[in-house]
Amino acid sequence: MAGRLLRGCGRAAGWVLVPRSLHAAPGPCLRGGCGEAAALRAMGFSEEQVRRLLGLQAPLGPQRREAAAAQLLLLGLSAEAALALLERSPALLRMPTERLQERAAELRRLGLDGGQLQRALGRCPQLFSAPRRRMAAAVRLLRERCLFTAEQLREVLGTCPAVLLEEPRRLHHHFQYAYFRMGVSQKEMVKARLFQMPFPELRNRHIFLERRGLYQTPYKGQTQTSNPKLKDILQLTEKDFLASLACATAEEYDVFKRLLAREEEEEEEDEEDRNARYAEGDEDVDSEGSDTA
């Protein structure tokens, strides 16, 4: 398998010649030509996988398609995982091989390596094209302001790689809500995979429990032992969450979410009105100052 992969990857890079017997092999060619199909089979792709790969339109020609597939295999992805990644993110076919290699090395430096890197890329292929500064800012925030340990950070990145795509201000707000409003420690956040649930849904579930008297706001940072575990709040399906934790119906939850959204809209409007009044007051002060002068 290793020999086949190296031969296939070498051809994609342009430094291994394909044997003459391969060119002379009889039989129909698969859409993109016998040479490319043979190279992909040499990498370990099955006939069906080769057909699917040849169906992907490579903007810069078949060599780019081979090179992208080869690079993903060298990162440790299986043939099926590499193919599925290219099908979900065909933009990877436009990326130079060097760029793919550099981004993989960068993700390793951020704490993703081995199986974690493979799983993270499978879940979140956008990591190949995300801005470098955005990812570095997210890691710095989690480490320096959220105070996750190095081991906890690796676990967060491995299970919730999309945090690297988040705008730091929103990511910090997500963390602060769980830490201060819910009284959850970093260790609990990592165990429950906090960042896998979108923040609006986390807030909806928490406030719903709180208003039903099933979740107590911590006093001076002390978590109430009677509160439901964060893992149960996050990982249960909505049906199970309502049945086992909230003891409510789907209709009650839907009504609550609509009312909460209306409350937030009214709060935003009130804040805008206050800001407008403050702005008018500043203008009046400036006008009086100019008249006095």
Per-residue pLDDT of the chain (293 residues; tens, 9 = 90+): 445 554 555 554 444 433 433 343 334 444 445 688 899 999 999 999 999 988 887 665 778 888 889 988 888 788 998 898 888 888 888 888 888 888 888 888 888 877 888 888 888 888 988 888 999 999 999 999 999 999 999 999 999 999 999 999 999 999 999 999 999 999 999 999 999 999 999 999 999 999 999 999 877 656 556 899 999 999 999 999 999 999 999 999 999 999 999 999 998 887 877 777 766 665 655 566 556 55
68 is written with which tokens? Answer: 């992208």
CA 38 to mean position of chain CA atoms: 35
How many C-alpha atoms does 67 have within 13 Å on its Cβ side? 20
With vertex at residue 180, the alpha carbon angle to CA 177 and CA 181, rounded to the nearest 5 degrees, is: 60
145 is written with which tokens? Answer: 């302001």
The position carrying tokens 């007051």 is: 281
Q: Which amino acid is at 3?
A: G
Query: CA 244, CA 234: separation in Å to the nearest integer?
Result: 13
Measured in Å, how far apart are the chain's first and last C-alpha atoms? 85
**What's this model's pTM, rounded to 2 decimal places?**
0.74
Residue 49's φ and ψ, nearest 5 degrees, are -65, -35
In the DSSP assignment, the letter for residue 182 is S
Query: CA 58, CA 70: separation in Å to the nearest integer?
Result: 14
